């Protein structure tokens, strides 16, 4: 057992058949509720395959109105049969979409697909063999089903949260050394997180979103604009790799360190941000009062938001109330820096970091129990860096329960 994983911990388990069946039933019920005319669903996303079949392959998963489901696999059929707990007659080899037509029939009627990820070329290949009467988006329906976590999913999220907190607060600070680059730190973090149980990859649903496994910045580097829709920043390595960490920016005494990373175990992510102050040996440097005050305000906001994460609460109302309560001077560089700021206070999380719903305007559906949110109030401080917090909470009748430890102050190293 790895010394950084406390206790006898299993890090990998196939999705049980009863779990897959429960997901199918919830999905079919939601389809009938929100899309009563549906006849066929075709899923090409590997993350949705993982959710509904327990494996991620080059293939296609289908559902039909009669309740039938099938996983068509191009590569690897053998691995799919080994990993998935679907009945074997529901896993079929696939060479082309002709196989779907043979199994489903050419006339598949009103069809729902993942418009967020389905490419035009794949759609054209489908239409060579399948006759679709109407093509509609299944994305918002799948998102609603995946938002509410089952007890089996919560088991992995609890584990990810515990290991995440351990890593960020006890292990990561031991890596800091004067003169190291952001890139050096990122490498140490990746190695250490793997030893701590991290699955090695962080997944986002946003189109063309690449963030490697976290965002790390020394000092003002954490204010630098990125193409990632988040309140923090990073210089990154280059225009071709605008994330992870710069090879040139070095850690000096009196610098802040901004560390925003997700931690995933067996598919399931938590999200956490911790800000540090590198004092170093013999340094008398102090954290600026402006930074301390802003960070403390962000801690208060995180807890205030978490307290409202209860069944029946409206995400858009939480966002509006919090934003309207903030003084105008605090809103300067809040949730970003300069002209760059994000219009949310948190996001749901699970098999991907950026899931539905979001703590933002326009999200009006009442929350359900066991929906998770990464709550992240942050603020840029000119000449210093980004401060603030982020932790992952589960919606309960008593308010958000934190999975990643309490929001800490700026930790001095």
Question: Is the backbone peptide bond immediately before 395 cis, with ω within 30 degrees of 0?
Answer: no
Mean pLDDT across the chain: 94
pLDDT tens digits for range 298-322: 999 999 999 999 999 999 999 999 9
The dihedrals phi and psi of 21, each to the nearest 5 degrees, come to: -65, -40
pLDDT tens digits for range 45-98: 999 999 999 999 999 999 999 999 999 999 999 999 999 999 999 999 999 999
The residue among 386, 388, 361, 393 whose CA lies nearest residue 376 is 388
Mind listing the domains of the chain with CATH numbers?
A: 17-145 (3.40.350.10), 148-412 (3.90.230.10)
Compute the average pLDDT of residues 170-197.
96
Predicted confidence band of residue 114 (pLDDT cuts 50, 70, 90)? very high
Count other C-beta atoms under 10 Å from residue 116's C-beta. 15
Compute the average pLDDT of residues 375-381.
97
Distance CA 270, CA 394 (A): 11
Q: What percent of the chain has pLDDT over 70?
A: 98
Give this prediction's pTM. Answer: 0.95
Compute the average pLDDT of residues 174-188.
95
- Retrieve residue 198's tokens: 């991290």
Residues 6+ apart with CB under 8 A from 156: 265, 266, 267, 268
The dihedrals phi and psi of 360, each to the nearest 5 degrees, come to: -160, 165
Distance CA 337, CA 382 (A): 8
The dihedrals phi and psi of 11, each to the nearest 5 degrees, come to: -105, 0
Please tell me the number of Cα atoms within 13 Å of 145 on its side-chain side.
Answer: 22
> Given the structure tokens 């004067």, which residue do they identify?
178
Question: Judging by beta carbons within 10 Å of its beta carbon (0-12, 13-18, 19+), is residue 292 exposed, middle or buried?
Answer: middle
The residue among 248, 216, 217, 229 whose CA lies nearest residue 341 is 229
- Retrieve residue 12's tokens: 């990998």
Helices and strands counted in the chain (H then E): 11, 19
* Sequence-ordered strand ranges (E) for 221-337: 255-265, 268-278, 336-337
């Amino acid at each position: 057992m790895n010394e950084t994983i406390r206790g006898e911990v299993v890090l990998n388990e196939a999705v049980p058949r009863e779990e897959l069946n429960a997901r199918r039933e919830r999905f079919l019920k939601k389809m009938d509720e929100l899309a009563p005319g549906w006849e066929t669903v075709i899923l090409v996303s590997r993350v949705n395959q993982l959710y509904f079949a327990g494996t991620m392959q080059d293939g296609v998963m289908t559902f039909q109105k009669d309740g039938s489901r099938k996983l068509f696999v191009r590569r690897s059929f053998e691995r799919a049969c080994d990993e998935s707990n679907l009945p074997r007659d529901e896993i079929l080899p696939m060479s082309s979409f002709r196989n779907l037509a043979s199994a489903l029939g050419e006339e598949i009627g009103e069809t729902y697909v993942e418009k967020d990820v389905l490419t035009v070329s794949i759609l054209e290949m489908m239409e060579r063999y399948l006759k679709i009467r109407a093509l509609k988006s299944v994305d918002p329906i799948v998102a609603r089903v995946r938002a509410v976590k089952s007890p089996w999913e919560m088991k992995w999220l609890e584990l990810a949260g515990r290991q995440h907190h351990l890593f960020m607060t006890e292990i990561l600070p031991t890596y800091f050394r004067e003169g190291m680059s952001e890139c050096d730190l990122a490498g140490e973090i990746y190695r250490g997180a793997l030893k701590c149980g991290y699955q090695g990859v962080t997944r986002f649903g946003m189109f063309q979103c690449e963030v490697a496994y976290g965002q790390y910045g020394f000092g003002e580097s954490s204010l630098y604009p990125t193409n990632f829709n988040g309140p923090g920043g990073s210089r990154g390595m280059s225009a071709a790799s605008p994330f992870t960490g710069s090879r040139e920016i070095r850690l000096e005494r009196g610098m802040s360190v901004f560390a925003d990373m997700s931690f995933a175990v067996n598919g399931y992510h938590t999200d956490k941000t911790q800000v540090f102050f590198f004092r170093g040996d013999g340094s008398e440097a102090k954290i600026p009062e402006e930074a301390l005050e802003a960070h403390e305000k962000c801690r208060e906001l995180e807890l205030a938001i978490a307290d409202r994460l209860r069944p029946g609460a409206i995400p858009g109302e939480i966002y509006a109330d919090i934003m309207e309560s903030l003084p105008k001077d605090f809103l300067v560089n809040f949730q970003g820096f300069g002209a760059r700021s994000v219009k949310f206070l948190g996001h749901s999380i699970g098999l991907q970091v950026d899931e539905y719903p979001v703590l933002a305007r326009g999200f009006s559906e009442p929350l359900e129990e066991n929906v998770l949110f990464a709550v992240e109030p942050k603020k840029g401080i000119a000449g210093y860096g980004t401060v603030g917090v982020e932790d992952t909470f589960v919606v309960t009748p008593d308010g958000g329960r934190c999975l990643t430890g309490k929001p800490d102050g700026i930790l001095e190293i």
